[in-house]
A and B are shown apart, each in its own frame.
Chain A
Amino acid sequence: MNYSLRQLLLISLLSATMVIWGVTAYSSYKSTRDEVAGLFDAELAQSGKVLLAFVDSLLKDGSLPDYWRQGRLVQGNADAKLIETYQRKLAYQLWSEEKGLLLHSGKQPELLVDDVKGAEQGGMVWRVFGDSRKDKVLSLKYERKVAFQLWSKDKGLLLRSESAPQVPFTFAKQGFSEVRSEGGLWHVFSVSNADGDYVIHVGQQEAIRTQLTDEISEQLVTQFLVGMPVLALVIWLIIGNALTPISLLQKALTQREVSNLKPLSVDNLPNEIVPVISALNSLFGQLEKAFEHERRFTADASHELRTPLAGLLTQVQVALKTQDEQIQRQALKRIEQAVNKMSYMVQQLLTFSRIDSEPEYLEKTAIKLVSEVIQVITDLEPEAYKKSIEVEFIEESSAEIVANPQLLNILIRNIIDNAIKYTPEYGNIKIYLTDKEKNVELRVEDSGPGIAPEAYEKSLKRFHRLAETASAAQGTGLGFSIVQRIVAIHCAEFSLGVSELDGLKVTVLFPDPKRKADKAPQQKVGMSAPGHRRAS
């Protein structure tokens, strides 16, 4: 299945971003909620203590400032740590119109307005306060959600805010508690005076906190919703930009002509793509080589066909022109020979090209080598008999090898046919089949002219015919090329040598599957040094 790298990256990056953002958002939501709760709790505690101090001073005789100074304010000890955290960050001031600043929190606040001093400050505070009282909106927003109660030990509920219920918020006298009451869940801070006569409950509805947290979360979600498409677009563009080399490569490849196998340039390309291009380039190189090989083969083959064609045409023209019946008969005989030779050559060429291109030639089965050799000898013996050549088969192995039947037949036929062609009349050909360690050896020895050891390499070249034998036998120069190809396909070894009959010795070593060593069969197709393989 195909897929788009760009889409895959976009989808995976976006979903990863979403998950990570979700987790972060949730944890920041939680910590915001805790922070908000802490802040509000501290505020509650502060309010409670302010009220207590106020009430204390109202109930007892004496001026508030004195009372403060005597340090008789009871510090709520319910949640000392929490209060400690926020105490330094909260402050209050109680101003009287006549007497100025009456009461303030432990943290001495900065003057509201620096350049207004003394009594003037009091008057100013009052004026601003008067203005803000007229602005109801501010107070109304949270009015119903904040409440206080003042309970006396003896007289019950002394004082409460409009929003507070008439029953006690809680029975706790100190510290924080959460209570279900009218309007839902309330956070209550309770504080009592030193004697325990009075208890003040300051309450705050959960809704205030939820609302604030919700607002913060809402903002986060909104940011995300707006940011997500922008992020997607940016990711899309960045990926697109990063993938430019791929589309350039694609363009360069589609615009290529079939014959253009020049390597692609790897300059200025990302390291991730360089190996791909290197692999492509090496493939191009191999293709180029294969094409060159094909081209040369076609050229060679057509050149090889030109000479017999020329001979054919010349003989035809001689036959047509001559009045001499004897010359005409000779020419016709030669024409027949030429046609036969060309048919043989065409057949060899076809064989050669089929070996590489037709897959059924590559299917291998277990074959008894002996029966194949006998089959070929049976077919070719009449040819040898015509030349009075004695053919002898020495069978010393009955091994089975894994090979393609047709190819094996062509291989054996080419070697034996070659021996018959080049062996002069009244000569000898010996064919051996023997077990050799992990191999089966097929050896064909003849009493022909042989090949000089220094000419082995040359003789294995395509279309090469040796001078000494060229005119004696009408070979095509393709026989050994075909043999070598088939030998390579079967991982066998091929070598030439000097025969015990003083002619040519051709040896093929097939790997024997039954006695296969642990190591893989050698794929080498080579020639042995002269004399080294002389049969004993």
Chain B
Amino acid sequence: MRLLLVEDDEILGEGLSAGLKMEGYAVDWFTTGKLAEEALKTNLYELIVLDLGLPDIDGMELLEELRTRKDETPVMVLTARDTIADRVNGLDGGADDFVIKPFDLTEVCARLRALARRHEGRSTPNIVHKGLILDPASHIVSFKNERVDLSQKEFEILSFLMGNIGRVVSRARLEESLYSWDSDIESNTVEVHIHYLRKKLDPALIRTVRGVGYIIDAEEG
């Protein structure tokens, strides 16, 4: 899942970036609002973690601009200001969640999962489909009541597709969600991962739409 992190503090930014990568997110980290704006114009993100106290542009301004563009990417705001007024203004300004510094990394991850879940329109944490159960928090996947071991990338692709059941997901979109700017993309990796997924799970689960991408079909009836 591709995530945009905007945080001007070196130490915190680096820590968050490392911590979120460990959770499987493809993290793009920027230290200024201007750079973040540029990134938002050229890439699609599933989640945004935004610090309000940026040196150049106010984080709230960035958020409002995003919402004016009808971009509904879930945004988690990081802030040192903890007054109720600050929180109210933040939420009204378009933030989906508010985390006060200093925060616990595991809590931030849990909240991000919840944000993604809500964005996908689910209310339960586990994604269930045709005997396939995916737990985003523990990264555990089971098929027909048996636990299946998946690599991180395989898990990311599967959860992305399961988050979009019944919709075709383009290959490029999958690639984008897998890799952040700083990682090298091998062009055939998505195919390779899909191949392994089919092997480990039901081969008919993921259908290839030639020239476009992949889809997990919705249950009939």
Contacts and interface: CB of A to CB of B under 8 A. Distances in A.
B15 to A, nearest CB: 3
A368 interface: no
Nearest to B55: A467
Contacts, number: 89
Interface in B117-174: none
Nearest to A472: B10
A77 interface: no
A313 B22 CA distance: 16
Interface stretch (B38-46, B98-106, B191-199, B210-218): B98-106
Contact of B11 (A303, A311, A321, A327): A311
A306 interface: yes
B10 A312 contact: no
Interface residues of A, number: 29
Interface of A: 303-304, 306-315, 317-318, 321-322, 327, 330-331, 334, 337-338, 341, 465-467, 470-471, 474
Nearest to A334: B11
B14 A315 contact: yes
A317 B19 contact: yes
B55 A465 contact: yes
Q: Which of A309, A313, A314, A318 is most buried by chain B, counting CB atoms within 10 A of its CB?
A: A314
B152 to A, nearest CB: 13
B31 A334 contact: no
Contacts of B48: none
B110 interface: no
Q: Name the prevailing secondary structure of the A interface residues.
A: helix
B209 interface: no
Given A303-B80, A322-B18, A467-B32, A314 B8 contact: no
B12 interface: yes
Nearest to A466: B55
Contact of A467 (B16, B51, B56, B106): B56
30 contacts: A303-B80, A303-B81, A306-B80, A307-B101, A309-B101, A310-B9, A311-B10, A311-B11, A311-B15, A314-B15, A314-B19, A315-B14, A315-B15, A317-B19, A318-B105, A321-B19, A327-B18, A330-B14, A331-B18, A334-B10, A334-B11, A334-B14, A334-B15, A337-B10, A467-B54, A470-B31, A471-B8, A471-B10, A471-B31, A474-B10
Contacts of B51: 307
Contacts of A317: 15, 19, 104-106
B24 interface: no
A483 to B, nearest CB: 20
Contacts of B81: 303
Interface in B78-105: 78, 80-81, 100-105
A307 B53 contact: yes
Q: Which of B9, B16, B56 is most buried by chain A, counting CB atoms within 10 A of its CB?
A: B9
Contacts of A470: 8, 31, 55
A321 B8 contact: no
B80 A314 contact: no
Nearest to B53: A307
A489 B185 CA distance: 60
Nearest to B14: A334
Contacts of A322: 18, 22
A225 to B, nearest CB: 74
Q: Which of B12, B19, B32 is most buried by chain A, counting CB atoms within 10 A of its CB?
A: B12
A268 B16 CA distance: 64
Contacts of B101: 306-307, 309-310
A31 B20 CA distance: 113
Contact of A312 (B11, B16, B53, B106): B11
Interface string B49-85: 0010111100000000000000000000010110000
Contact of A313 (B9, B53, B78, B102): B102
Contact of B104 (A313, A465, A467): A313
Nearest to A305: B80
Contacts of B9: 307-308, 310-311
A465 B9 CA distance: 11
Given A310-B101, A321-B19, 7 more contacts: A307-B53, A311-B15, A312-B102, A318-B105, A330-B18, A466-B55, A470-B8
A310 B10 contact: no
A334 B78 CA distance: 20
A73 to B, nearest CB: 116
B12 A310 contact: yes
A297 to B, nearest CB: 15
A310 B55 contact: no
Nearest to A309: B102
A261 B19 CA distance: 49
Contact of B12 (A307, A327, A330): A307
B29 to A, nearest CB: 12
B154 to A, nearest CB: 19
Interface in B22-38: 22, 31-32
A430 B13 CA distance: 35
B107 to A, nearest CB: 10
B80 A321 contact: no
